[in-house]
Homo-oligomer: A and B are copies of this chain.
Amino acid sequence: MATHPVRPATRADVARLAGVSASTVTYALTGERPISDSTRERIMDAMAKLDYTPNVMAQGLAGRRSGLIALSFPVGERGFNISDFEYVKSATEALERSGYQLLLWPNNAEDSESLRKIVSQRLIEGVILMEVRNQDPRVEVLKQAGIPFVLIGRTEDERSLTWADADFAGWGPLAVEHLAQLGHHHLAVIGQGPEFYSFGYGPVVRTEGELLRSAHEHDMRVDIYRLDAHLRDGRELVEKLMSQADHPSALLGFNEPAMIGALEAVTAAGLSVPRDISIIHFGISAESAEATVPAQTTIGVDGPLLAERATEFLIQRMRTPEAQPQHFLAPPILIDRGSTAPFQSR
């Protein structure tokens, strides 16, 4: 009903209208001390009438809290993608429940200077880091600034930091065992470009290592291909593969565009999934997995769960910064969409 946007009502206005002192208004809001029902009611009325909202800056200045949490979101190489969005959404909701606002903060991982700057402005009470690399310059900045933070993902230095991450080490073995049971013994991995390895991008590295170990245990052959994130690359690779006599009987994807190309190539060759080749795709959203023809069986993580844990951890750290680091590994989840089938010897 604020028909008059001139000057926002202040706490003093509310106090005057309610006939109480300014501090009483504060206490009515925070519940930090007992207030009689009648005065509380008068205050609430006054606030409603004046359409009062506390001034965040003043709250922050006086109480050294802003209610603001930043989600550092490097966007440089990859842009947003759907599953990132899942995290953002659940984190936003979880934080709102605790009375915080989430600010998405698009910077790139190299630019720790701008992170440093904004953090030192004391505007922000805590930080969530996404797209974390094995060695992430942002961590040092935040440590120095003495601001509470958590990672979605983790760095090399796992023990000393608080994080929530997918259990990538479980992804490969889960896929391998699923395929082993179906009788497969020759897999191809369509991974991401070499830059992900040099950057030390955790998910790719962690997944591949355990995948290979597990495949070895099962006496499986695994060929790894590192492709750029382009439809075309996946297509060309799979065209070549399928023309070979001893081509793999299953494809493990970790590269969304390339896998679309791969599916195309299978179809173009007059073959079909899963009859001629089985497919499991790591880490893509349900939406993406169901948008292709055929839909793809996936192994991935419960994103909302991850984000929720991370925000819980953060809030705990903000309360007691000296507490022990906490960790959460989200278990791998296989969703069978029918793109795998028993191996057919040819």
Q: Which residues of A contact B (CB under 8 A)?
A: 2-3, 5-6, 8, 51, 53-58, 60-61, 66, 68, 73, 75, 79-82, 84-85, 88-89, 92, 96, 101-106, 114, 117-118, 120-123, 144-146, 229-232, 235, 257, 260-261, 264, 267-268, 287, 290-293
Contact = CB atoms under 8 A, between A and B. Distances in A.
Contact of A2 (B57, B61, B68, B145): B145
Contacts of A292: 231-232
Contacts of A8: 120, 122
A126 to B, nearest CB: 14
Contacts of A58: 57, 61
Contact of A101 (B96, B118, B268): B118
A145 B9 CA distance: 12
Contacts of A55: 61, 121-122
A82 B79 contact: yes
Given A54-B121, A80-B85, 15 more contacts: A2-B145, A8-B120, A55-B122, A56-B122, A57-B58, A57-B60, A68-B123, A73-B104, A88-B106, A89-B106, A101-B118, A103-B105, A264-B264, A264-B293, A267-B267
Contacts of A293: 231-232, 235, 261, 264
Contacts of A96: 114
Contacts of A267: 264, 267-268
Contacts of A105: 103-104
Contacts of A121: 53-56
Contacts of A102: 106
Given A79-B82, A144-B5, A106 B106 contact: no
B81 A232 contact: no
A164 B143 CA distance: 41
Contact of A5 (B101, B145, B229, B230): B145
Nearest to A68: B123
A209 to B, nearest CB: 29
A51 B113 CA distance: 13
